[in-house]
Every structure is written in structure tokens, then in C-alpha cells.
Structure 1
């Protein structure tokens, strides 16, 4: 028996040695490839070798690490296939399995791990360092935050890294270039539900946003009845939302809109605002916002303001507003010295032209108060560094950009989901802005496509790539499934048009589809028989993929709310897809001299009419209407196709008689 046990021991020892060698081979000899991280890190460099997490990992979290951050890393490891997560307090001399060390730079063990990795801690607010090195048969991955927020961002980056089968040895030093990044729920029409808001806060965490402004236009206690206290049940619901925001390291900002009825010089109105803020402070809110947009400022709401500030007008309004806002800022600091400064949106919130109102704000408004600005227009087609610099001069401080994209609550956006990538904002804006907040759509999950880009730009505008970030947003919605990702991108292309308040959109409709259809037109007009045949065959393949995309999206997306919000657009897409399939069949028949081409084109026309008649979900947006689907591109091609290749006249007569 002893001999048997000895033999088994030798065998096991040999196996252990072989296993160790195999691990070393996997971690050191696999080719390392630079991972795609979004938002793009400020600095990322590959090291030597690669790390396979394997089945067992040791996790060391310093005491100050938040439970939500530890849970995030644990979930990422579990999804990566790690079966055993052992908790330890000390670093071993020679790790034989991957060890993950996490904490802020205040923790000695984190500083030691960084030193072992030859790395230094990012020293910026919300900054973090990730250092991954191969150590013999094991690995050391250090997640080090400058502060708790930075550590949480490091965990979010690790979540992305762990989606790869192999993590390269690397060094990431990263921090946001803009201090404020996120969304303002400031659209008109149907508001988000509390469930929508909770999910949105979770999404914001994944893209390293840090701000959500609660400003729904339909909350009576924040707008029409702003002087009244919230009912206890509503306050409790808001308290739950604030707690969700805190767990996701997102600053919950409460916005109030007293402008239509406030008396700026009445101390009782100031006290109403202070009491409202105190009630919100009791449920954990520390950041506040006053909205003075979309109001009439050329007349006073009370006689006392006329007595105090003189005749009404833009300059007098600026002085009166500044007085009230300064008093609120002073009250906030008195009650909560560590609170962020008050944020406001002024009555003149767009362009940077010098006006008496802006001059009055610049001269009288407390310099700590943050001012929002929507750009060169309400929906600006582009924003340049000089534009932002002009706004800084006009308002006397760096402004916080309220970007009205992808909001779809105005006439020019009727019938549309706005799903184009975030573009035409100039790199370098981080030097002139306090941050960027996106005003999203009434549809929360579809809004994430554009918001991902907005936040990624605000995090690192100098390293931002619009198209790659757009792809990353699709992949995230699809849970990494490539087929669903491709279907989503095909759908996004049909909703690429980004309107403005004018007649010219700031992003064109369906650019990828247009390029493909233009290629078909060119092949038919200028190509020989082979080229025409190949182009029409390619069109047929595209039409089939287009038709199948809605079903793939419904089956493949992670959050089913996307399909619910986009239901009429997906339904219309299938109808248009079938119309395009019939159009391709008609072109093929015509190209082969087949008189059946007319029937194909006629059926395509009927389906196109059905698709055009489809309408948005009643009440889902402020302005509803017919669904727009690659309009000006797809509809024009289907209508023009019968004229591209001559169809037999007798067959055309027959089709007319069949109708």
C-alpha cells in the first residue's frame, strides 16, 4: 500500500509540475493584443505575456473598498468562468494563481502591489491605475483607485477586460478629462418610470458617468407645485433612487423649476426652495439644480420684483435671478459644506452672443455656481473649441454643456429614434467645458446608444472614436453576441438622421445603406452583365439580412426593453425589408428579361405603403407620427427601382388589370 501511495504521490507531483508549466505557457507565451476599452483610457500599454484567469482566483480587497466594487469584480470573474474565488489579506511571495488586489492608494497592500508591478497611482480625481503582470506560474492584477470613485471605475474597466478569454499583461493609467459626465432627464412628454431610472443609473455606471439630473417636466412638485412638500410616499421612492445612484457612484442631482411663478425678491419663496432642498437632503441628496429655461423673463411674476428691480427686461431678470441663486448657494454651503456647487440652466441657455442678460449673470452670479449651456443653438449641428471659449467669456465661467442629443421631443424628430453615433464635437473641448450632460429620449434603453458616446467623449475627448464607440454600444446591448450586434448596427443605420431645429440635419440618414444602394445603381447604370448580376445578388443578400434583423434583435438583446421601446420601428423594418427583397427580385427578373418583374415591383410598392403608414406608440413621445425608416434613402430606392431596368410593357398592362 505504501508503494502504491508513493507512486500516486510521484504521479501527482509530476502532474502538478506539468500543470504549473502549462499555466506558465498559457500566461507567458500567448500573443498579447491591445484590448478595446470604452471610454478610451487616457493611457494604456501592453506588458509582457498574457494572463488566463482559469478556474481559481485569489481576491484581496483593502478595507476601504466598497461592497459594490467588490461585487462588481466578483461578478466579472464569475462571468469569465472562474469557479473558485478565495479571499486573502496578504500578498504571497510567489503567486501560483492569479491574484487580484484592489483598493485606493491609501492602502499599504495596494501600494506594495503597484511597486511590484512597476506602476504608479494615477493622481487625478476619479483616476485609477490597473497593472497586470505575469509572475512565474501566477499573475498579479492590481486595481488601484485615487479615490473610491476611481476604484469603482477601475472595476468597470476590469469588467470589460474579463470578457476576453485572455487578459494581456498591461498598464492602464486613466482619469476623466471632464469632471461632470452623464444625463439630465429633461425632455418633454412621457417621463421615465422609476424602474427606467434605476436601470439607467446602472447603465451610467458601466460607462463611467458620474451625474444624473432628475428633472422630469411632469413632476408637479418640482415645477407647477414646487412650493408644496412631496408626499411621504413620493419622497420615499426618490430616496430609493438616490440609494441606487450612490451604489453606482453617480451623483443624483435634484432639479427644481420655479421660474414660471417665482417671485425673486420674496423671502418666502426663497424659504420654500430651501425647505424643498432640506427635504431632499434628508433622503441623501447633496447636489441641487435650478432650471430657469423655457420661461418668460420680460415680465415679472409679482409686483414686489418690479419694486425691487425696476421695470422688467432681460438685464433686470439676470440681476433678479442671480440674487435668488446666490442665496440658495449660500444656504447649500451652510447646511452641507462639502456639497457640490449649485447648477443652473439660465433663461438664455444657447448661443454665446453678448446680451444684457448674460452680462448681468456674469457680473452678479456667484462664481461657484455652475451654468449650463446647450451650445450654439438649442440643438447644435456642431460644437467647436472656439464656441465653448466664447461661452466661457459670455457667462464668466466654464459652462456645463447640456447637449440636446438624442432627445426626440420636438417636431423635427417626430417618428424617429435617434441612434447615430455622437459626433461633431471637437476634441479639446475638455479644456473649455465643466462637463457634458446628454438630454436623452423618452425611450431609456435606445438612448444608451448615443449616451455611451456622449460620456465616452466627456471622459476622453482627445482619444474618442465615434464609430468604434458606436460599435461598442451595440455590442453591449447584444451582450457580446456578434450576430445581434450586426443586426443592431443595421437597425441603427436606419435611424441615423439627427435633426436640428432647422431644415438641415446635423447627421445624414442611413449612410451605410445609401452607399450600398448607390453602388447598386452605379452597377446597373455602368456595369456589364456580370457586374449587374453581382450587384443585384448582393442587394438580395442585404435585403434578407435586413428583413431578419428585427427577429435577431428581439432574440439577442440583453434588455428586452429595447425591443419594446423600438417595437413599431422594428415592425416597420421587417415590412421595408420584405419590400426590398421584392425589389431585388424585380431587378433580377428585369435584368434577365423576365416579365414577372412588374409583379415583384408592385408587391414591393404595397408593402412600402404599409410600412410608411405605421405610427409611433401613442403617448410614448411628446410628438408622435408615422415611423421614419431610412427615409430619403430606402423609400426612394424602392420607388426608383422599376425605372432602373426596362420592364416588358405587356406585363405592366397585365399588372394594372390584376389590380
Structure 2
């Protein structure tokens, strides 16, 4: 559904549609020296010459050169049109590995003095007028990364001369598959190792929480078929210079004091060592360290957090001493402590710091489990607490705590210089492996060169890479990623579309109708993005990962376009079309909210959500339509003493009239916890209706509480109490109040979700008449509700709306599917002002009126009245 032709013509006859519908520009990453390279190199120097790649080249491979790098270079040359290599008569020589003479001929310094994984790439023409490309690394990984840089520099058959000198900021850079929920598939992992290699990520931790052999059944050896799959993963990782880290999580059941338990753990590690794994982690996160799994541990270590640290160190030290030391090439063991986040010293961290082998590396997530920022000062404090080397387990873009959301935005707020005080950073991705890549691209960029990292630029480059050079695909991908952008790290919701909407409302309120065309262009991209991506994106796995979110994005785009069309129609004075569009909105919004994903529990679906910017625009458009119809604007302000769990679930959702949106408090209710509303002024109140909890959190509500009300917010009157009900419906008679709230009277472990908080008011119009129906809904200020007659009307029957007080009206607006004469009352006299002509009828009134009446036409079907509004 798009703009009606009549609406557009009435709005702006002078604006050409072709101009209004021009594609929105999408930022393209660029670099003055030629194609942009990501991760961003430490140093790039342009050269004046251009090197052309002929059909035959001389490929010179140094002794001992990394063959994975050679393979990348060969692929690059073939993609550039090379048909024959190793031809010594070629005008272009390509060198892989140590070739100091080739670098010297180009006047380029070698890799001397660089650290591990450093490399040089040089493209140019020497004084001998011979063209050369050189990829040379400090080590095999460096040569491999040099080849990956060449892959980006060579686009087409002509390459700008360039010298790249590069090395990583962080020693370890990669991914920890450590989320709750469906693990990555075997194929997704294999493909991801190729992706990691292309982006200079050198670390992967295998620790999906739902792999029983890692956690619940950690003692069991792997069956042969699963061990073979692990073997394939390890080999693919090594081929991409990715260290495969194996993480075992025994904390749910281990008896620390039984030596046989540690023997079993070491045996499990040994089976992986035989496959080529050299990095091992003992993870003890997300367990109750106040509870022992066996009585022997209480006798051996005592009780409390410090005792738990002693027990854990006992096992980890044995692994370091007996397994790592006994197996050549094995890296120091790592651990995820039970207190794996925060900055406070504790009995646990003190004991762990003093008893853990000094070589053990501690993994830490930052100030919080999901840290909005990570600074050098925070890392220094954590290092002081643990007194061990640290590796950052960065919980982004993991979404297991908000499984209905895709987190497609960039990594943000990680301070440059973290590599000086940590061993590295591993990002925890989403269960959707391919959908994690827009964020992981930026993780790779940051960890390789943290001082040059720019989140917005890196994000645009990652999307451009995923789009594969297709501008139409990139525009659609950018629109889709924009409405799936916000996270704990960066709570801006759909920043690009938000800017478009903010500019629209500013221009719209100033009376500029052209604003509708500009916003239409942006919303059309949101609506069209799923179809464009399905047609053009060359990554079927990304499309499979994102399917329900693509569906939801397209549906929200449709709802937003319909809301915009409603606004355009009302601005053009076409009330019938505006009402038709408004009537279509509830079904469109319901469809947008209908898409689900199978989340943490395979037997339960999770509703998918996009950034609520689009939802908010629809609600704001409806509010604007309310004002245009003459409905009284709501002055209700919600509040709660609870902290907000996430910006996706603000308190405003309690009073938006939509039970599918909700406020979610981020803490358990305690005695005195309140949620409530401020009506703006003291008004007559007859009752309160509050809807709490939601399908996947059925216990998140105030389980024991009381209704209170006040005229000043200081002195409160106690109303009825309630217990263990998610729907609080209370009649108060008729009281005067400005503030109304629910107050918890007992402590509970559950958080609180409030879907709707509605106060029934006693100063609305009084509706009566015949036939029978829900009379108040004909004039309740909510066009989404309706009086629906139970039967066809008979002669003489009518619906009467008595206003709270007589007032001067200039117009009566009626939204109804009915046949009737419209009358108004002045004093004791009724006067006919017209009849219903369509679902939207506006009739002029002159004078003071205290009542409006619809006198039904005999023989008409059962009338439906959505709203009767008196303008004055």
C-alpha cells in the first residue's frame, strides 16, 4: 500500500515523482590510495605508478613460504584475469614470502623489526622498469595476512602502486562461540574459519553452551563421528591461521577434590590435543559457587566464594602443571572465573589471584556481562583484581539475552590501547552465524588496528563487502541493518531512519508537505529491502539466518508507509482516505509483530523485533491523526521505580494503547516497588486496568501488591489489594486523583513486565440508546474501539452522546459504518445537521451544544460506531 494518487496530487502537484523517488545514497567506503583495505592497515603509502596485470605472470614462491598464502595469491591472480603463472618472461613478477631483493628493487624496507604477524605488501615498478607485487610476512601468518591485503588491493587488471606496512594491535583477535541457544552448524563453523582468515582474526573458542559434551555431559568422551567433525574443524582453522581453542565447562557437576575428576578433564583435553588443538580453557562461569556438587569438597575447601576459588584453582593448576607442561606446543591454560565481570575485589578474586598458577590467563567480560564500554583503566583494575594476564570475552553481538533481536550494528566504545594490557579480545556472536558478520567485521577491524578504528566507517565497509559490490544490494542491506542496529553498546535506534523521521516531523509541523515525499523514499527502502536482498544478495546463509527479521522489516515498512499515507490524506483534507488508512493500520502492525524465531527453547518461539523507531512513527502518526480528528491528546505520563532492562522496552510502552508492547523493569520487585501514571491534572477516576507479564516471561509481574492513588503525589490513599494475577482490574467507584500506581507489598525473584496501564476516567461523554452494544466505546476517545449494535435498528431508535458540559462546537466528526441522521442538541431542542455519507463524515455545527445524536435509518444493518467527536 502506497500513497493514494488523489492524496499526492492534492499535496504537491509541483513536485515530480521521479525526483521524490530517487534512491537514497548509501555511503561507500573509499581510500585515496585505491581500494580500501580492512582491517585498516597500520601504514599505507601510495606510489605514483600503476601496475597492469597481464594474462601471464611470473609467480615466485620463497622456500618455506606459507602455502595458504600462496593459494590466496593464486586466487587473486586468476580473478584478475591471469591465465598462466610461473612464466619467467612476464612483465609482472609476483613474489610470495622472503624476497629482500624484490623489495629492494622497489625501494621498500622488509619486515625486519616487526612483531609477530606483521607483513609488508608492495606494488610498483622499480628503477629497472619491471613491475612487481611482493607479499612478505614476519611469519607464516604474516605472509597469509599480506596475501589477504593483496586480495583487496587487486580489483580489476590495473593496481595502483602502494606500500603497506602492517601488524596487529592485539595478539589474539577472534570469536568465542559461547552463547546459549542453537549452536552454529558444522558447515557454518567451517565457512566462518574462512571468513576469520580473510579478516585477519586468529582465534576461535569452541564452547557452545548447548553442546552436552562441553557442559552437561563433560565427562563423556566424544563419539567417533563427532570427534571426526572436530578434527575437520581444527584442520580448517589451522588452514586459515586460526587458533582453535577448546573450552570445557565442568562447573555444573564437578567434584573438585576428587583427583579422578581432574584426570577425566585432562583425558578430554588430551583427545583434542591429538587432533591438533593447542589452546584449552576451563570455564567456570554461570554456576552457583555457593553450592558444592559433592560433600568431599566442603570438607576439603570449606564454604563460600573463597573456598570455591581454592577448589577451582586446585583443578586448573593441575591442568597447567600436568597437561600443558607435558604436551609440547600447548599454550597456557585459560579460565573463565565464576566472577567473570565487574571491578570489585572480593574474597573470590583475592583467593583466585593468590592461588592460581601465574601462567593461567583469566577471561573477563568487562564492567558488566554485556559491557557498554571497555577502557584501559577498567582493564587495569581487573588486572589488579586477578593478578593474571587477561583476555577479553566481549559479549557482542551475542543476543541470547534478547533473542528476538538481531544486533547488526558495529562494535563501539572499546578504547584504543587495550592490547597493551590484555592478551586479546574474543567476541561472542549470535546463534545466527552469518548474520553476526556485520558486527564481526568491525570486531576484526578494531582488534587489528584499534587506533585507526572508526565504527561508522568500518560498519559501512562491512556492509559493502557483504553486498558484493552491488549498489542496489548495499542500499537494501544498509536499510535492513539500520533498523536492526541498536544494542546495549549503542542504544541509538535505526540512526539513519530516525534522522529521516525527525526531519520529517520538523518539516511537517512547519507546513512543508514535501517532507512526506522525502520520508516516503526512506520508508520505501525499508519496505523493499527484504525483496531486494532475496533477489540480489549472494549469501543464502545470511538470508536464512535473517528470514523472520526480513519478513518483519518488510511488514513494518508497509505499516509505516500506510501511516504516512494517512497523514498525507488528512493534510489534503481527504478524511475518508485518511480513515481508511488508519483502519488498515492495526492489521498491518499485527502482521509486523507476528513473525517468530525458534530461540533458546526449541519448543518455544520468540517474537522477532526490529528497532522500535518504525513502530514509534506509526504511533506518532496515529496521535497526529487523533489531533486532526479533534480527540483530546493524552497527558498521561508513566513512571516506575524499577531500572529499565533495555531501551527497547521503555515505560512509555505502558500507556501506548498497545498490549503487544511493554515496559520491562530490569530488577526484581521488592516491597515498595511501584509502577504508575501521572494524569497531568486531578480528574475523576472510576477504575484501573493493568496488564502484566508476557508469553515467554509469564512470571514477570507484581505478584503481591496494592492499588494506590493521590491528588498530589505525596499523600496516598490505599485501594484494593491483589495477588498472583497478571491482569489487575479494580473498580474505585468515583474518586479524584492525579496519580495512580501499583505498589508491590512482598519481595519476589521475578522482574516486572507491564504491557498496559489504563486508568478509567469519569469525565468522558455518556453514551446511551439502542440497539444494545458497548455504548461507551462510541465516544471513548479511541477510534480503535467501537460500539457494535447487537441487531439492526428499528424505527425511532438512536444513539445519544451527552457531553460532559455544553460547549461551542464548529464541527462534528463521525467514524462509523452506519446509516443515520446526525442531530445536535442546544438546550431542549434537537437540530439535524446532516447525515452519514461514508465511514468518515464531518458536519458543520454552529452554536453551543451539549449532546449529539445519531438517529438510525430503518432497515439499515447493525450500526458500528468507532468514534463521535465534537470539534470546538
Indicate the TM-score class for this superposition, using the shorter chain for normalisation.
0.7 to 0.9
Find the counterpart in structure 1 of residue 243 from structure 2: 251
Q: Give the Cα separation in 1 of the matches to 2:463 and 2:156.
A: 17
Q: Give the Cα separation in 2 of the matches to 1:479 and 1:392.
A: 42
Find the counterpart in structure 1 of residue 593 from structure 2: 612
For residue 363 of structure 1, the aligned residue among 354, 358, 366 is: 354
- Where 2:596 maps in the other structure, the secondary structure is coil
What is the RMSD computed on CA atoms of the aligned residues?
A: 2.2
Find the counterpart in structure 1 of residue 95 from structure 2: 101
Find the counterpart in structure 2 of residue 74 from structure 1: 74
Q: Give the Cα separation in 1 of the matches to 2:261 and 2:599.
A: 38
Find the counterpart in structure 1 of residue 340 from structure 2: 349
Which stretch shows the higher mean deviation, 586-595 or 196-205? Answer: 586-595
Find the counterpart in structure 2 of residue 524 from structure 1: 508
Q: Alpha-carbon deviations, 1:570-601, whole Å to 9, x = none?
A: 11111112222222322222222233222223
Q: Alpha-carbon deviations, 1:358-414, whole Å to 9, x = none?
A: 11121121222111000001011111111111111111134111111111111xx13
Find the counterpart in structure 2 of residue 482 from structure 1: 471
Find the counterpart in structure 1 of residue 584 from structure 2: 603
Answer yes or no: is 1:41 the counterpart of 2:41.
yes
Find the counterpart in structure 2 of residue 583 from structure 1: 563
Q: Give the Cα separation in 2 of the matches to 1:163 and 1:362.
A: 52
Alignment map for 1:73-152 (pairs within 5 Å): 73-80=73-80, 82-87=81-86, 97-103=91-97, 107=98, 110-122=99-111, 123-135=114-126, 138-152=130-144
Answer yes or no: is 1:293 the counterpart of 2:292.
no
Larger Rg: 2
Q: Give the Cα separation in 1 of the matches to 2:359 and 2:474.
A: 44
Alignment map for 1:409-558 (pairs within 5 Å): 409-410=400-401, 413-499=402-488, 506-526=490-510, 528=511, 532-558=512-538
Q: Give the Cα separation in 2 of the matches to 1:482 and 1:304.
A: 65
Q: Give the Cα separation in 1 of the matches to 2:599 and 2:140.
A: 44
Following superposition, the deviation at residue 559 of structure 1 comes to 1.7
Q: Give the Cα separation in 2 of the matches to 1:426 and 1:433.
A: 12
Which 4+ runs in 1 deviate beyond 4 A?
Answer: 618-624, 647-653, 656-659
Gaps of 5+ in 1: 1-30, 500-504
After superposition, the Cα gap between the structure-2 partners of 1:137 and 1:212, relative to the gap in structure 1 and judged at 3 Å, is same
Q: Give the Cα separation in 1 of the matches to 2:371 and 2:495.
A: 20
CA contact (8 A) 1:255 1:288 kept: yes
Find the counterpart in structure 2 of residue 227 from structure 1: 219
For residue 393 of structure 1, the aligned residue among 384, 387, 390 is: 384
CA contact (8 A) 2:61 2:70 kept: yes
Q: Give the Cα separation in 1 of the matches to 2:123 and 2:418.
A: 32
Q: Give the Cα separation in 2 of the matches to 1:331 and 1:148.
A: 30
CA contact (8 A) 2:66 2:143 kept: no
CA contact (8 A) 2:180 2:600 kept: no
Q: Give the Cα separation in 1 of the matches to 2:410 and 2:156.
A: 25
Q: Give the Cα separation in 1 of the matches to 2:244 and 2:601.
A: 25
Q: Alpha-carbon deviations, 1:494-526, whole Å to 9, x = none?
A: 111213xxxxx7422111111110111000112
* Structure with the higher strand share, 1 or 2: 2
Q: Give the Cα separation in 2 of the matches to 1:581 and 1:79.
A: 43
Following superposition, the deviation at residue 217 of structure 1 comes to 1.5
Q: Give the Cα separation in 1 of the matches to 2:102 and 2:176.
A: 39
- Where 1:131 maps in the other structure, the secondary structure is strand
CA contact (8 A) 2:33 2:45 kept: no
Following superposition, the deviation at residue 619 of structure 1 comes to 5.8
Which stretch shows the higher mean deviation, 249-258 or 69-78? Answer: 69-78
How many residues end up aligned between the 2 structures? Answer: 605
TM-score (norm 2): 0.67
CA contact (8 A) 2:48 2:161 kept: yes
After superposition, the Cα gap between the structure-2 partners of 1:332 and 1:50, relative to the gap in structure 1 and judged at 3 Å, is farther
After superposition, the Cα gap between the structure-2 partners of 1:374 and 1:655, relative to the gap in structure 1 and judged at 3 Å, is farther
Q: Alpha-carbon deviations, 1:497-556, whole Å to 9, x = none?
A: 213xxxxx7422111111110111000112x4xxx2221111122222221111111222
After superposition, the Cα gap between the structure-2 partners of 1:658 and 1:349, relative to the gap in structure 1 and judged at 3 Å, is same
CA contact (8 A) 1:372 1:402 kept: yes
After superposition, the Cα gap between the structure-2 partners of 1:317 and 1:78, relative to the gap in structure 1 and judged at 3 Å, is same
Following superposition, the deviation at residue 618 of structure 1 comes to 5.7
Q: Alpha-carbon deviations, 1:60-116, whole Å to 9, x = none?
A: 111312332222112222223x1323126xxx7xx862221011xxx4xx1111222
Answer yes or no: is 1:628 the counterpart of 2:609.
yes
* Structure with the higher helix share, 1 or 2: 1
CA contact (8 A) 1:32 1:169 kept: no
CA contact (8 A) 1:96 1:138 kept: no
- Where 2:567 maps in the other structure, the secondary structure is helix
CA contact (8 A) 1:43 1:172 kept: yes
- Where 1:253 maps in the other structure, the secondary structure is strand
CA contact (8 A) 2:102 2:134 kept: yes
TM-score (norm 1): 0.87
Q: Give the Cα separation in 1 of the matches to 2:865 and 2:559.
A: 19
After superposition, the Cα gap between the structure-2 partners of 1:621 and 1:417, relative to the gap in structure 1 and judged at 3 Å, is farther
Greater relative CO, 1 or 2 (CA 8 Å, sep 6+) = 1
Following superposition, the deviation at residue 126 of structure 1 comes to 0.8
CA contact (8 A) 1:176 1:459 kept: yes
- Where 1:244 maps in the other structure, the secondary structure is helix
Q: Give the Cα separation in 2 of the matches to 1:219 and 1:545.
A: 40
